[in-house]
Chains A and B, each alone.
Chain A
Amino acid sequence: MTDQKINNVNVQEQPKTPCPPAQDLLPQVKEPLVRMTKRGIITTKQRVIVYVVGFILALVVGALMLLAIGKNPFFAYRDMVVGSFGTAIASAETIRIAVPLLIASVAVGFAFKMKFWNIGAEGQILAGATLCSYIVVHSINNKNYISGVPLHLIMIVLAMIGGALFGFLPAFFKTKWGTNETLFTLMLNYIAIQYVIYLQSLRTWQDPMSTYPKIIDFAVFTKGSVELPRMFGVHIGWIFALIIAVIAYFYLTRTKHGYEISVVGDSLNTARYAGMNTRWIQIRTLLISGALCGFAGYLQVAGANHTLTETTAGGVGFTAITVAWLAKLNPFVMIPIAIFIAMLQKGSLFIQSTMRIPAAAADLLTGLILFFMLGSEFFIEYKLVFRSKRNVPHLEQKEVTA
């Protein structure tokens, strides 16, 4: 194509007569088959349509995958819903998954709003869980000298300190020496996990009945004192989670701190120009972000697991990143999204057992849905323009003459 074009161009000494478009050049007149252009204003209705289409496409692709392994996709989808919200027990279990997810999402949302890429929620949850377990273990080893409300208050404070510490470190180093917070927070995750594994081998922490390294069951050894009370079948952590989401929303939109976070996140130079102490704002926000994760860690210990394992955080810190982005960092929107993701997780566990769909396939299905949801964002920003004859007037002309 190019050669031909060069030849045509090089012939500069063309006849001096008016020169209508040469016929043999016309086949070159093609616009690209598909091109992207930016959308202007998009209405809420269009936006919803894009998301719904994305969701349906995810289900269709998922169905193809299920068909490929010989399973009936309709039954699989039905079972996912039944398995997550079909019974009171199933619903309670789903909500139990959603609680730490929501809190961690709010926490990472704070940092992300400031463009501080905190991917260490996992480690911050574990740090909180670990530190609050210290007082429990200490109490158990000293004839349960603390119990009831005082125990929980101390646990909460310790958990938040633990999480905040793991938030503070990357923020301090980033603002002081410009270290990369993504790597820093990621590495802290491993430190937290390995530390829990180390604790499992300590005599004072080990379960005496167990044949493998495992930390004692706090509920048994504190005679139930560590267990959080339940409401509607779920530990009361869900109430805390909802309150946190609401407060976070107001913190971000109505307070000076929230305003500073928006400014720092959008333009660090503007924040400096306005006389903000950008260093302290970043550290302060990460302290809060970490403390919230630490609190989620406390809920996992006191509410859900009643012990500490290296899977206490269980990937929540990473899933929270997805939730935060799907919700566009809006804490209110995180509530339904956290519940939805919890439903996917619970539902895929259920179809693993009822339909013998391998765990990997169930995870793949979850991944597909998220992929399509996040992919929808592209179609909200851009639209595709296909080649059309109307745009190139003489293409039509040519067809007529030919």
Chain B
Amino acid sequence: MLDTKPITVDNVVEMHHICKSFGTVQALSDVHFELRRGEILSLLGENGSGKTTLMNILSGIYFPDAGEIYVNGNLVTIRQPKDAFDLKIGMVHQHFKLVDVFSAAENIVLGLPGGRTINRRALTRHVREIADQYGFEIDPDKKVYDMSVSEKQTVEIIKALYRGADILVLDEPTAVLTPQETDKLFDIMRAMKKDNKSIILITHKLNEVLAVSDRVTVLRKGEYIDTVLTKDATIQSLTDMMVGRSVSLEIDCPVPQNVEPILKVQSLTVLNQDGGKALDDVTFGVNGGEILGIAGISGSGQRELCEAIAGLYPVTGGSILYKNVVDGHEVDENVVGLNPNDIVKKGIALAFVPEDRLGMGLVPSLNMVDNIMLKHYRKKKGFLVDRRTSREIAERLVDELQIVTPDVFTPIRKLSGGNVQKVLVGREIDTHPRLLMVAYPVRGLDINSSYTIYNLLNEQKEKGVAVIFIGEDLDVLMEISDRLLVLSGGRVTGIVDPRCTSKQDIGLLMLGQSIDNEKGADAV
């Protein structure tokens, strides 16, 4: 099926007929891959298409079931990460692997052979040389726990370069970066390319593919689809290759109708575990019939905000007022200090799709029926549980949302990410909420499932529900939100109309406008 071209030295890496399965899941089947010297290659595919698995094989984390790998024209066996280092292959994982209490320089030399002592001065100098060569900004003596996400990423990349990597694999490096930081990273990648290094960029963001790469290799469901030159590709053509058929990329954003305020958050302050302010004087309101997007670098207080509103996080100051109807009168009910059960007892219809689906929203080893029961098992009187109602709901959701599962009695953890999320969102919407909070609802989902979720949210909005959407993909946030709130370091740096605000401006707000004006300016 695949025509294996002759191996030339211009291809620094070639992988042929790679197969890998996990249990019954065939993660990769007969995948072909080649990387040329001095190019930036995008490895594109939806979640679960096998991108990361393929690169984990190249970097020695997994061993393939079948297939062969050539590096610089030589057939090699990579059994462990050290073998990959020896072949000058370095990988920067999506989840960083750094020791928090060590400095940047210490992390960089960690695990390398050497004497009993570390020559810190020489080490620092060497790190600085690498940084200057490609334009990194790094303080070798800074501790990792003091670093921002983008600084940690810099350490990871320098770590790979310090080990002499000529082939660099970056696994979704921009997922955690602001637009400005992304641009800076791309500049660095171009500088490395000039130095004849070969870079593999794993991503599912199409505009990045078009912005930085020379060629694109597309995987779909563990199979190799094609490799094309970036200059010949468009967003639509790449999407079609990724999904396997033509899809529309428009997200609806109907104009809000009959808005009425549902939730008012006033001067909300909460502390994190170390006593610092995770949320600092946060004030905003949400109306029924609109989607309020919340943007920000991860860890800017999004999780605390959701959990505080849901009654799961202790509030230090401020109030959370929920418009409730008691005896026919509208009252502002303050839910601060109430736990989730109290909130339900007050008759407040609040639904929450948390970020950590299997760790907070669902019970992974229980089946769909039992998971749906979570929200209403208390309603039935008596000592026994009522599985019949939940079973009816479960079966209805399977039909309505096209959830793929052997039956409703299969443990949730055996379902794929998209189906897990459909169960969770479906259950929450089924409670007929007036306020629906969703945190990163499409993280890890394929394009089709993502659009199912967007449509569900828009449906709720049209029904007059107030929707809070916490997201990470700015493009999506700007398309779906009626108003966009930007958090930076626990403070609200702006509430803007996404229809008339530029992405760059939102990026500045994400960095905390007041302090970072200058930094943002030179990145633009």
Residues of A within 8 A of B (CB): 2, 5-6, 8-9, 11-12, 14-16, 18-22, 25-26, 28-32, 35, 37-41, 254-259, 262-263, 266-267, 269-270, 272-277, 391-394
Contact = CB atoms under 8 A, between A and B. Distances in A.
Interface stretch (B104-112, B231-239, B367-375, B513-521): B367-375
B359 interface: yes
A38 B358 contact: no
B96 to A, nearest CB: 23
Given A35-B63, A269-B360, A275 B340 contact: yes
Contacts of B8: 16, 18-19
B77 A30 contact: yes
Given A8-B74, A9-B74, A272-B340, A267 B363 contact: yes
A205 to B, nearest CB: 41
Given A19-B8, A262-B366, A9 B88 contact: yes
Contacts of B66: 391-393
B88 to A, nearest CB: 7
A20 B47 CA distance: 35
Interface of B: 6-9, 17, 21-25, 63, 65-66, 68, 70-77, 79, 82-83, 86-88, 310-312, 339-344, 352, 354, 356, 358-366, 370, 373-375, 377-378, 383-385
Contacts of B73: 14, 19
23 contacts: A2-B82, A2-B83, A5-B76, A6-B86, A9-B72, A14-B73, A19-B73, A19-B74, A21-B68, A28-B77, A31-B77, A32-B79, A37-B21, A255-B383, A256-B385, A259-B370, A259-B385, A262-B366, A262-B370, A263-B366, A272-B340, A273-B312, A392-B66
Nearest to A269: B360
A9 B87 contact: yes
Given A21-B68, A25-B74, 12 more contacts: A5-B76, A9-B87, A28-B76, A28-B77, A37-B22, A38-B22, A41-B23, A262-B365, A267-B359, A270-B359, A276-B341, A394-B75
Contacts of B340: 272-275
A16 B9 contact: yes
B377 A275 contact: no
Given A35-B63, A392-B66, A266 B366 contact: yes
B384 A254 contact: yes
A267 B384 contact: no
Nearest to B365: A266
B370 A256 contact: no
Contact of B9 (A19, A40, A266): A19
B11 to A, nearest CB: 10
A195 to B, nearest CB: 36
A159 to B, nearest CB: 25
Given A262-B370, A263-B374, A274-B375, A22 B341 contact: no
Contacts of B356: 269
A6 B77 CA distance: 12
A41 B17 CA distance: 26
Contact of A270 (B71, B361, B385): B361
Given A19-B9, A273-B312, A263 B79 contact: no
Nearest to B20: A37
A256 B383 contact: yes
B55 to A, nearest CB: 19
A275 B82 CA distance: 48
Contacts of B7: 18-20
B9 A14 contact: yes
Contacts of A19: 7-9, 73-74
Contacts of A29: 68, 75, 77
A269 B365 CA distance: 14
A277 B86 contact: no
Contacts of B79: 32
Contacts of B365: 262, 266
Contacts of A41: 23-24
B417 to A, nearest CB: 17
A39 B86 CA distance: 32
A394 B384 contact: no
Contacts of A31: 63, 77
Identify the interface centre among A6, A255, A258, A275: most chain B CB within 10 Å of its CB. A275
A366 B68 CA distance: 48
A41 B406 CA distance: 13
Contact of B373 (A259, A269, A393): A259
A329 B476 CA distance: 46
A254 B63 contact: no
A256 B86 contact: no
B369 to A, nearest CB: 11
A5 B82 CA distance: 12
Contacts of B74: 8-9, 19, 21-22, 25
Contacts of B23: 37-41
Identify the interface centre among A2, A25, A38, A270: most chain B CB within 10 Å of its CB. A270
Nearest to A385: B65
Given A9-B88, A266-B364, A275-B340, A22 B75 contact: yes
B71 A9 contact: yes
Nearest to B7: A19
B367 to A, nearest CB: 11
A336 B375 CA distance: 37
Given A9-B86, A29-B75, A30-B77, A391 B65 contact: yes
Nearest to A391: B66
Contacts of B344: 275
Nearest to B307: A273
Contacts of A21: 68, 70, 74-75
Given A32-B63, A254-B385, A270 B374 contact: yes
